[in-house]
Structure 1
Amino acid sequence: MARDPDTIQREIEQARDALASTLDQLSDKTSPKRLAEDAKTSAQAKLDDPKVKYPLIGVGALVLFLLIRKLFR
Structure 2
Amino acid sequence: MVVRLPRVPFPVTLSYAGPDTWTITEHLGEQHIGHGQLTHTYGAFAITTTGGGTTQYDYSWQAALVDHLPRR
> What TM-score comes out, normalization by structure 2 length?
0.19
More helix by share: 1
Q: Which has the higher contact order (CA 8 A, sep 6+)?
A: 2
More strand by share: 2
Whose Rg is larger?
1
